[in-house]
Amino acid sequence: MSTRHILLGLLASGPSHGYDLKRRHDERFPQARPLAYGQVYTTLQRLVRDGLAEVEGTGSDGGPERTAYRATEDGLGELARWAGEVAPPAPFVTNEIFAKVVVSILTGGDADAYLLAQRAAHMGRMRELTALKSAPGADLTTVLSADYALNHLDADLRWMTTTAARLTTLTAEVCTT
């Protein structure tokens, strides 16, 4: 996910300061890794440097002084271009779970036990996400974000089942090369 484009998207609705942008990001993308304040301000500085955002003004409203930023016309154009691009499927899939299965085989570990433990961890996370999206008052952003994560976890579980069924063959291949 492109932090610069997400922040530009949040600025498209009007000027905001870094604190507000971080809060809105974390609300709009509840299953994403929360942004660090340093990341927000570094990204804002780069957006200003690149002419995609500009300082709207500063104010304190009785608290610490805050700088408000707004998207420029160039920034809105960049945002529209980015939002219209089809995200290409990853050309290579890096899968930590698969790597750990292979390393387990190479080191004489119990790949089947590892897959069972990983499956239990995935199932636990799926229960958490299902509870989160089923909670009274859950907003659509939370529901859709949880659904996205659940579908990915389900794909991992299906892969683990297939891999567990093929461990004997995989072990033979890994140990002969």
Ranking 23-27, 59-63, 73-77 by mean pLDDT, the lowest is 59-63
Q: Quote the pTM value.
A: 0.68
Residues 82-134 pLDDT 10s: 988 877 776 666 688 888 898 888 888 899 999 999 999 999 999 999 999 99
What pLDDT is recorded for position 74? 96
Contact call for residues 43 and 79 (beta carbons, < 8 A): no
Token pair listed for 143: 């529901």
